[in-house]
Structure 1
Amino acid sequence: MEHKKVLSQYQREEGYNIQLNKELEKISEENRLMLKNHERLEHKNTELLQQYNDLQHKYNKKVENYKELDRNYMALVRPLQVTKDDPSTIYNRLVQITVSIEHLIQRAKGDRSVNLRREAVFENFQGYGLFQVFPEEALLDPYHLNLYMESVIMTILFYRLFARPLGCIFEQSKEFEGIRKWVNERDPKMATRWRQQICVLVAQDVDTMAHKREEEVRAAAESLSHVISTIYPNVDMSVKIKELCYNTFDLSLAMFGMESMIYPVPIRLGIPFDNENMTTPQKSNPEGLVSLVIFPAFQDDSKNFYYKPKVWCY
């Protein structure tokens, strides 16, 4: 009986061991499959990570390309700003030039025009044609001649600087203006942007720009100094003259670089005085004809900007 009992116990344990082995084999197989699946997933994860990195690289590249396109686009469409000026600051700077010329003559003439050489005015400027509608010589007092000298100064500034803003800074200005005129007839907006781009490029060449500025200011100042020292021989106005020329040079470039270019407009002599569109100093006849243009008008291409000319009527 004891033997049978032991045998039965052994058989039960053996069956249990067999069952355990089967369970272990099943678990081992599951582990093997799980490990294989893990390896597959890990490989897949590596592939996905590589794909992600590739896509991230492509995305970053596209972002950079977009930024470059955006920069290029903005460079083409945004308004170019040659200087920090706008129409209001241009107007104020024109006022400053006008006042500077007045103060220059006031200081040069001295008290009661003691420094004024009356005969020198007629000797040097009779051939200019500016006296053609001015009163006869005998009727002119120092006030008129000093007023006339303001006009002479502005005339020199006009031809030296205001009338040739690009010529002052760009050696190929004549060729450029010819091409710009051709472009403007076909695409005014492109011509405007091209003009501004030239100004920006020239302004960025700091050394050349500084050299041209000094060169043009020196030439204009020498012309003004010669005239003023001839008419007002007992005073040295060289510092004020050079300051005036610097301001005029800078203003001329600023006006030329505006999106709607601002430029001087000559006023014909002999036309009736226009109270709405002209200004006049004292001792001028508002019912008379324009006999002297002291300061020309300034306007822009779009006709939204207008600086009234200063004239004297007789």
Structure 2
Amino acid sequence: MTDSRAYTRSTQSHNANGDTPPIPPPHDLELSVKAPVPKATRSMQRSKTVRNLENAGNKMRGLFKKQMTRDADSNKPEAAATPAREVPSASSAGTGTRPSFATASSYGPGMFQEPVMASEDSKRPLSYNVDRYEHAFRSHPDEPSMTSLPSPETDKVVPPVSQSPTSTNDKPQDDELGADSPEVEELKRELEKVNEAIERARQETTAEAERKQELQNEFEEARRNCQAREMEYTQIEHSFFEHTRAVRATDDDLSTIRDSFKLLKYSVTRMIMTLNKKADKAKATEKLVAMWPSLAVVEPNTELEPPQINLLSEKLIHEHLVHAIFRCPIYPGLPINDAFSSLSRWLVEHESKFSVRLRQQMAAIVAKSAKDSELQLAAQAEKRRIVDKIYNDVAEIYHPFILENDAVVDEEKRYSSKIADIVDKAMKLAVAMRGQEVDISMLDIEEGKEKFDEETMVDVKGKTTGIVRLCICPAFVGRDGEHGFVEKGKVVIGG
């Protein structure tokens, strides 16, 4: 007890002089330890060491300040149950000697010296204790610090004191208060709305995906059906072409027939142009006026000019072709032409469509008949008759040039051969016309009375208005409601 009182007085003397060294933070249970007796060491710079210790003390006080406040209430019952350790006071000090501190057993023997008197302790410099602690730490760096040594009474480390129930229950109460606040409720409602929107979007996405799959399946099914229909259509088209090929007399259609008409008219015009200015005006005028007396093609006691003779000669050839070939019911030279004409009119009057099929079938028979058959022999005889008639009329107009020319040139260059080629083209065109579903017929033009019509006529000089004076070649038309065919006629407008 004497040593303890002396140590207390020494401590009070240091406090009175204002040279208090850094004090470790207080704890609930003070550890009774003996301070090691420092050995002689090198001096340290006081300012740096004291500054470091002050900083460490400030940090430790700040660290344990809140914990000490919170543990105040919880430590009171423990302090009441446990008898407080007797702390020596200054009044109980007997002698002036300083007691020795108990230390851990890890500090080896020989580290401590005899207790120092309080009077001597007060005379030591302020850095004495600092040097003493540093010397102990450098000598035994692996030893635990004095502040963490166990108590000699219990020899156990005091566990950290937990927070009081009051302090631990503050946060849940704050959380409960925060959970019931309007802001939290509003955020919860917004979160619920967002979740509902997400759920709706997810459902819509799923529905759209299912709808897409359904549409994809429908599309695939429609494509398969379309492909199947296309195959069926191709087969039907092939069958139709095979059927119509069997019915049609030739492979011609309306477009090829139109081209054949143009080629025929061009052949006639080209042959007449080779006879330009080769005609005897007197004989040509007499011949042509006799053929069309009502047209008044020339003034009395006057002769026709070469251009007029050429146009009238071309008109003459086309009229022979129209009357002998194109107006023929089936084909020139057939003995059944008149019978077919009567039967066809009867079928049309009774609104029967069989007349078209009958006409096509008859034309097919003519086209597919052999060249040495009776039918073709009769057609060839009629062809020679038509060629001779046209040749004689043209030779009379262009007398004597045609006869003299044909007498000296080769057969293919003779005008008789040219006229035969024109007649042959006209007969082939007639067979192609009879083999079509559309009934192609001639459109009569009344000369001297009918006005010019751009849809069915074309003037030789390009006029577009006036009265038709001459019809060189009639128009050919064919209409059945679905198809249309027009080959314009060649006319001369008066003026």
CA displacement 1:256-305 (0-9 Å, x = unmatched): 221112122221112122233211113x7543311111010001142710
CA contact (8 A) 1:169 1:213 kept: yes
Asked if 1:116 corresponds to 2:288, the answer is no
Asked if 1:195 corresponds to 2:373, the answer is no
Amino acid at match of 2:428: D
Q: 1:229 corresponds to which residue?
A: 395
Asked if 1:92 corresponds to 2:259, the answer is yes
Asked if 1:243 corresponds to 2:421, the answer is yes
Asked if 1:129 corresponds to 2:292, the answer is yes
Q: 1:219 corresponds to which residue?
A: 385
Identity %: 26
Cα distance between partner residues in 1 of 2:346 and 2:479: 17
More helix by share: 1
CA contact (8 A) 2:347 2:353 kept: no
- 1:248 CA displacement: 0.7
CA contact (8 A) 1:293 1:310 kept: yes
Root-mean-square deviation over aligned CA pairs: 2.3
Residue 149 (structure 1) aligned to one of 313, 316, 319: 313
CA contact (8 A) 2:329 2:341 kept: no
SS in 2 for 1:101: helix
Asked if 1:186 corresponds to 2:350, the answer is yes
CA displacement 1:11-60 (0-9 Å, x = unmatched): xxxxxxxxxxxxxxxxxxxxxxxxxxxxxxxxxxxxxxxxxxxxxxxxxx
SS in 2 for 1:305: strand
Residue 330 (structure 2) aligned to one of 139, 146, 166: 166
Cα distance between partner residues in 2 of 1:278 and 1:179: 32
**Structure 1 residues 150 and 130, CA, compared in 2 at 3 Å: closer, same or farther?**
farther
Q: Flag structure 2 segments of 5+ consecutive residues without an equivalent.
A: 1-238, 407-414
SS in 1 for 2:459: coil
TM-score, L = length of structure 1: 0.69
Asked if 1:299 corresponds to 2:477, the answer is yes
Q: 1:275 corresponds to which residue?
A: 454
Residue 273 (structure 2) aligned to one of 96, 102, 106: 106
1:247-262 alignment runs, 5 A limit: 247-262=425-440
Q: Flag structure 1 segments of 5+ consecutive residues without an equivalent.
A: 1-73
CA displacement 1:162-201 (0-9 Å, x = unmatched): 1115151531221222112112222432111111112223
Cα distance between partner residues in 2 of 1:204 and 1:286: 44
Cα distance between partner residues in 2 of 1:165 and 1:100: 24
Residue 249 (structure 2) aligned to one of 72, 79, 82: 82
Higher RCO (CA 8 Å, separation ≥ 6 residues): 1
Cα distance between partner residues in 2 of 1:156 and 1:210: 21
Aligned length in residues: 235
CA contact (8 A) 1:213 1:249 kept: no
CA contact (8 A) 2:331 2:430 kept: no
Amino acid at match of 2:386: A
CA contact (8 A) 1:130 1:292 kept: no
SS in 1 for 2:456: coil
SS in 2 for 1:294: strand
**Structure 1 residues 281 and 130, CA, compared in 2 at 3 Å: closer, same or farther?**
farther
Cα distance between partner residues in 1 of 2:362 and 2:387: 26
SS in 2 for 1:225: helix
Cα distance between partner residues in 2 of 1:215 and 1:272: 40
Rg larger for: 2
SS in 2 for 1:84: coil
CA contact (8 A) 2:331 2:337 kept: yes
CA contact (8 A) 2:282 2:303 kept: no
CA contact (8 A) 2:288 2:312 kept: no
**Structure 1 residues 216 and 230, CA, compared in 2 at 3 Å: closer, same or farther?**
same
Cα distance between partner residues in 1 of 2:351 and 2:437: 14
- 1:213 CA displacement: 3.1
**Structure 1 residues 190 and 165, CA, compared in 2 at 3 Å: closer, same or farther?**
closer
Amino acid at match of 1:142: P
